[in-house]
Amino acid sequence: IGQQKNSVEYDFKLNVFSSHADRLASSIPKDSSCIRCINDMGTDVYGKPNIISSDPREVDIPNCNVILFALPTNRHEFYLKSMLPYIQPGTMIGSMPGEGGFDLCVRNVLGDELTKKLTLFSLETLPWACRIHEFGQVVQVLGTKKDIDLCVHPYNKFSEVQDFLQAMIGPYPVVVGSPTSSFLGVTLMNPNAIAHPCIEYGLLRNWDGVTPFSKPPLFYQAIDDFTVKTMEGVSDEIL
């Protein structure tokens, strides 16, 4: 829920709808009720959700300006179906990262009539690279992106969504609208779509498909020169 205080400032409240709600709520420190974010670009940040629940009826969806999906693509449909009875016309609904046809999933679940009354958006990737230190208590930002591409439908709502998201995430990354100004572009240009298949192929290219590994293979840490060249080739082909 973002309420604009003036032309440049917002007040934000975060309502969390998650299947992990009970675990999250019980993990937040009881003394301060705040989650610590170790910031890579300055002073640490502290905050707490307004509501945490696994029940869509309890997270005040009708009064949310923005519904933001920060989860794997294969969970979008489940959460959209759960929230469908409570989503109001005029709501902004978006995903980060936004690959996988988020707009098509929204239309399929919510229907054309409601979707026409919504503003849809996707971010090309996540604004930050983060790791959980202590669940529900401490998260570390390992790296803040320089900029991040945004697509919006209808496009005449782009500036409104851009301003809202920029106020929400802070000065960095800078939210921009090119070159991935469409949902298809977000899917094709998304770094995950380039890196993950190439890394997986690099890991398994010499595997016979039968012999078990002696230990679970590492993902990013196991990237070799072959995989790097493969990713470069895929990236060059898209560009």
Report, as residue numbers or ranges, the catalytic residues. Answer: 196
Q: Which of 40, 18, 55 is nearest to 136 (CA)?
A: 18
SS3 172: coil
Residue 39 dihedral angles phi and psi, to the nearest 5°: -90, 130
Cα 199 to Cα 228: distance, rounded to the nearest angstrom: 8
11: tokens are: 């007040």
Q: Which of 92, 108, 200, 204 is nearest to 150 (CA)?
A: 92
Cα 16 to Cα 67: distance, rounded to the nearest angstrom: 10
Question: Do 91 and 121 meet the contact criterion of CB atoms below 8 Å apart?
Answer: no
Cα 169 to Cα 87: distance, rounded to the nearest angstrom: 23
Cα 24 to Cα 46: distance, rounded to the nearest angstrom: 16
Question: Do 177 and 149 meet the contact criterion of CB atoms below 8 Å apart?
Answer: yes
Instruction: Say which residues have a Cβ less than 8 Å from residue 67's Cβ, sequence separation at least 6.
Output: 61, 83, 87, 91, 92, 93, 94
Question: Do 173 and 201 meet the contact criterion of CB atoms below 8 Å apart?
Answer: no
Pairing, β 147-153 against β 174-176: parallel
